[in-house]
Copies of this chain bind each other. A is one copy, B any other.
Amino acid sequence: MALRRVLGLGAALGRRSCCSQHPLPPDFVEALRAVVGGPNVSTAMAVREQHGHDESMHACAPPDAVVWPQAVGQVQELAALCHRCHVPMVPFGTGTGLEGGVNAVQGGVCFDLSRMDAITELSLEDFSVAVEPGVTRKALNSYLRGTGLWFPVDPGADASLCGMAATGASGTNAVRYGTMRPNVLNLRVVLPDGRLFHTAGPGRQPRKRAAGYDLTSLFVGSEGTLGFLTQATLRLHPLPEATAATIATFPSVRAAVDCTVQVLQAAVPVARIEFLDEVMVGACGRFSGLELPEAPLLLLELHGSRHSLAEQQRQAEEIVRLNGGSGVAWAEEPEERGRLWDMRHSAWYAALALRPGCQGYSTDVCVPISRLPDVVVETKRDLQDSSLTGPMVGHVGDGNFHCILVFNRQDPAEAQRIHAFTQRLGRRALAAGGTCTGEHGVGLGKRALLLEELGPEGLDTLRCIKAALDPHNLMNPGKVL
């Protein structure tokens, strides 16, 4: 009854502005409850605030209500309701994003999809599986234990896989296994008006397709601005028979990057090749209790058969030596490797520990590898000149690196220096033929840089697509564009 009443009000409510925050229409929350049941809707301030931010520094922007749909049909009904009443919609996975993707800057309804957590359609022969938005990458890999398969994309956080698809995430394994894009075979999408479709057609997971525009790749990286990703069919990979990891220390940033380029040129199928600058090495060493020389470092991981691994190790060692690097022994047992990766994964907290009580923000530029040494060296100089703390880590095999900026939010002068630095860094990456974001997305913080990156005609093309699929600008408004 309540639902019908609100739907009846739709036309009158149609003029609700999408460009500023308005209260929800009367009886709207009742209508939400009619779809998903009372306990699955909340307007409590604590809940709204919890859903109004991710892990970034962007100011919390709480939605007007939070809903927890339990099934795709409910997502469709809720979307149709919001659409009819012109209420903004914000998809929410685990809230582990880094560019304010979930912040409800125009209010509206947050769709917390974490209770839709089915894992279905596992096919060991086709190396594929379908997951709902409540399934995180660690949950999937636990589920796959014993099958000989795994899902390798690893952004660090235990994020929702559909959220990773929405952001176009990648991380440490991308140099070998690719980003989310080539690893998503199909997406079940709920459009802003509540209609449902599958980007590669219902129930399909061929390994390749040339059937019409690539809607899967369009929705991967769309940051919730085109529709809800309510299921992702993912490509799985065979678990490597053997794995080995090592650390190599270099006399200079340039030497570490040259080593990376040569590893790639020699076609060593490296699974991970991560760079830490000497500031980050110092921070991580202290944080993790590992004794590391404070010099630029590469963390390498190799995957393969036992036999091929030995060859990869010899090749990698030789290239490290040729670039003046000095390595430690290879860690082949899970426990030893775990220690190395714990050190790497502690980078964020190790950086924060450099200035206790301060705030962190991660930059995310990606440049052609040939330009990486210059860009890294200039950026380090810029950090010094700006009196900023920003140790570096990078997925250097892809040319992608992060400065983990640690700053005092209460100090307006420092916040201003942070802003100026991130703009300069973005422009430096663009001038080098790179991008302002390799894997975190545009979100709230990089909209101005996106215009510089794509140019006005490119941005117009994005806007055309957004307007075609979401003409009322209801899906995650204020992001990307």
- The number of residues on chain A lying at the interface, defined by a beta carbon within 8 Å of a beta carbon of chain B, is 98
Determine whether the beta carbon of A457 is less than 8 Å from that of B238.
no
Interface mask (A355-399 → B, CB under 8 Å = 1, otherwise 0): 000000000101111100000000000000000000000000011
Determine whether the beta carbon of A206 is less than 8 Å from that of B367.
yes
Determine whether the beta carbon of A436 is less than 8 Å from that of B269.
no
Asked whether any CB of chain B lies closer than 8 Å to the CB of A241, the reply is yes
Known: A206-B367, A434-B206, A468-B465. A125 touches B213 (CB 8 A): no
Asked whether any CB of chain B lies closer than 8 Å to the CB of A94, the reply is no
Interface mask (A230-271 → B, CB under 8 Å = 1, otherwise 0): 000000011011000000000000000000010011110100
Determine whether the beta carbon of B197 is less than 8 Å from that of A455.
yes
The CA-CA distance from A167 to B400 in the complex, in Å, is 30
Task: Note all chain B residues with C-beta closer than 8 A to A221.
Answer: 210, 212-214
The CA-CA distance from A266 to B368 in the complex, in Å, is 33
CB < 8 Å neighbour of A174 from B167, B200, B208, B433: B208
Known: A201-B453, A208-B439. A461 touches B238 (CB 8 A): no
Nearest-neighbor residue (CB-CB) of A459 within chain B: B212
Report whether over half of chain A's contact residues are helix, strand or loop; otherwise say mixed. loop
Asked whether any CB of chain B lies closer than 8 Å to the CB of A203, the reply is yes
The CA-CA distance from A149 to B264 in the complex, in Å, is 11
Task: Note all chain B residues with C-beta closer than 8 A to A204.
Answer: 430, 433-435, 453
CB < 8 Å neighbour of A215 from B126, B201, B458: B458
Nearest-neighbor residue (CB-CB) of A179 within chain B: B208
Task: Note all chain B residues with C-beta closer than 8 A to A169.
Answer: 210
Asked whether any CB of chain B lies closer than 8 Å to the CB of A308, the reply is yes
The CA-CA distance from A435 to B218 in the complex, in Å, is 18
Asked whether any CB of chain B lies closer than 8 Å to the CB of A480, the reply is yes
CB < 8 Å neighbour of A265 from B148, B178, B308, B398: B148
CB < 8 Å neighbour of A369 from B207, B210, B315, B468: B207
Asked whether any CB of chain B lies closer than 8 Å to the CB of A91, the reply is no
Name the residue in A182, A459, A465 with the highest tally of chain B Cβ atoms < 10 Å from its Cβ: A465
Task: Note all chain B residues with C-beta closer than 8 A to A170.
Answer: 208, 210
Determine whether the beta carbon of B264 is less than 8 Å from that of A127.
yes
The CA-CA distance from A217 to B214 in the complex, in Å, is 6
Task: Note all chain B residues with C-beta closer than 8 A to A438.
Answer: 206, 208-210
Known: A210-B168, A454-B212. A182 touches B178 (CB 8 A): yes
Q: Can you name 18 A-B residue pairings with CB atoms under 8 Å?
A: A123-B370, A126-B370, A168-B210, A179-B208, A199-B458, A201-B453, A201-B458, A206-B400, A207-B368, A210-B439, A211-B437, A211-B441, A211-B442, A212-B459, A213-B218, A213-B462, A214-B214, A217-B217
With A204-B453, A210-B442, A237-B267 given, can you name 6 additional A-B contacts, CB distance below 8 Å? A170-B210, A181-B182, A200-B435, A208-B398, A208-B438, A305-B311
